[in-house]
Structure 1
Amino acid sequence: MKKTLLALVGAGLLFGGVAANATPEQDRLNLDKYFTNKYPDIKLDKYVYGALAFDADSMAQYDSIMDFPPFGTVVDQGQKMWDTPFKNGKTYASCFPNSGKNVAGNYPYFDDKAGKVVTFENAINTCRTTNGEEAYKLGDPATMGKLTSYARTLSDGMLMNIKVNGAAAQAAYEKGKAQFYSRHGQLGFSCASCHVYNAGNHLRSELLSPIIGQATHWPVFRGGENLVTLQNRYVGCHKMIRAVPFAIGSEEYNDLEYFHSYISNGLPMKASVFRK
C-alpha cells in the first residue's frame, strides 16, 4: 500500500498539494488551499453539503426537502432504539460523555491500547456488548444504520475534531491516506480521482463532491428512506470502479475513514440528510 502511494507521488507531492511526508494538518490545510484556489467563490463550510456546494439550484431543492425530510420516521425509530434501555436498565447514553451529545465528531480515534482505529459504530457496539447485548452488524441499515441516523444528530453543529497523536496513530492515518490516493479496480480509479482532481465535475449524470466536508454528514438517505452509511458508500464506490471492496469495519476502511474524517476537521457536522 505504501509503495503504491510512493509510486503515485513521484517527486514527493500528490495532486491537490498533498505531500507524501506531510503532517495530517498540512494535508488538511493543503487541500483547503487547493479547493479555495480552484473555487474561490465557495466558502469551505459550504462543502459539508457535498456536491450541492457547486449547484445553487440543487441546494435550493435540498433546503426545500429538508423542511420535511422524507426519512423522518427512520430517524424517529433510531431515537427509540437509542432511548430504549438494555436488559440491565442502562442506555446508550450511559456509555458516552455528555450522554452522547457532541461526541461523534471525535470519531474515529486511534486506540493505543487496542492498537487500531475505533469508529463511532465500533464504540456503539462496545457499549452494547459491555451491557450484555449482542453487537450489531456494522453497516446494517436496519440496526446500526438506523441507530446512528439518530445518534449522530446529537452531534449536529459540533466541529469535526479528529486527533492523530503518536507514531501508531500516524501510521494508521498514513495507511488511510494511501488507500484514498491509490488506484483500485479494473477502471484504475482512486478516491482522489473523483473527490480531489475532478470534484465539481460531472461523471456521467453525477456531480462529484470534494473530500472536504464529506465525512461530516453520514448516514445519508438517498431517494427517500434508502439509508447509506459512510462505509456502505466506500463499498459502493469500490464496486463502481470494479474493485473488490473490503469488509465494512475492516482495518482498511477504518483507516480510510480516519484519514477521510481528519480532512474535515473544523467543519460542522450534520447527520441524516438527503442526497440524490
Structure 2
Amino acid sequence: MADYSKEDLVQMIKRFGAYLTFKISNLFSISLDNLDSRSVGFLAGLAIAIVFTWRLFRSPSGHQRRQPNRHVPVPSSSGISTHSNADLTSSGVCSSSEDSRAQNVIDEFFQPVKPTLGQIVRQKLSEGRKVTCRLVGVVLEETIPEELQKQATVRFSVLEVLLEITKFCDLYLMERVLDDESEKKVILALEDAGVFTSGGLVKDKVLFCSTENGRTSFVRQLEPDWHIDSNPDIVFQLARFIKYQLHISPIKPERTAANVFSSPSLEQFFGCG
C-alpha cells in the first residue's frame, strides 16, 4: 500500500465523498421499483466502500505501524540523520500521547454513572412513601432502653442516610423509654445532631412508649411501607402486617420471611458502611 500523507488522504476522502453525494442524489431521485442492475451494483459497492473506510480509520494509523522500519541505525557523527530520527521518535510519542488522551476521554464518557445516595435510597426502599424506624440500636449508639437513662448518642454515620430518607419518605422514629428524662435526652440528642433542621422530620414524629408491645402497636397503626427494627421478636410479629422490614443486627440472622431483609447497620444496607 502506497505511503499517503495526511493531506493526500483528506483530499482523497473529500473527492470520494463528493462522488458518493452525487451518486446518492441521483439514486434516490428514482423510485425503488425502478432500480436496475447498475443501481444495485452501486449500492453493493457503496456498502463495501463504507466498511473498508471504517476499518481503515478504526485500525491504528499507518505511519505508526511503519515507524519502526524508519529507525535505521546510523553513525553518531551524522547529525542530520540523528536529528531526523529524533523528530520521528518525538512525533511517534506525541501521536501516542494524543491517542492515549483521546482514549481516556472515550473511557470517561462511557464510564457508568455512579448513582447518588438519594437514588440508592429510593431503589432500596422500592419507592416506599412511609417508613417507621426504631431509635435504639439503629439511630442511637445505645443498644437497650436502660442506657438512655444515662445518655443518648446519635450515630453520625447514619445521619446522611436518615436525612435522605426524610426527603421523600414520611419518617417516624420510635422507642421504648423508662422515664421522661430518657425521652428528653433522646430529643435533645436528635436536635443537636441536626435531624430536625432539614424539614423532613419534626419532633411530633418521634414517638415514645413504655413497652415493646406499644412500639408494635405504633407500627401497625401507621401502616408503613417499611419498618426498621433491631428487635427480632418485633420483626417476626410484624412480618405478616408490614410490606417490608429491615432487621438491623450485627450477626446475620436467618431470614424469617421473604419480606424481611437484614443488615449490620442502616447505612450499610444502603452501601454507605
Name the structure, 1 or 2, with higher relative contact order (CA <8 Å, separation 6+). Answer: 1
TM-score, with normalisation over the residues of structure 2? 0.18
Computing the radius of gyration over CA atoms, which structure comes out larger, 1 or 2?
Answer: 2
TM-score, with normalisation over the residues of structure 1? 0.18
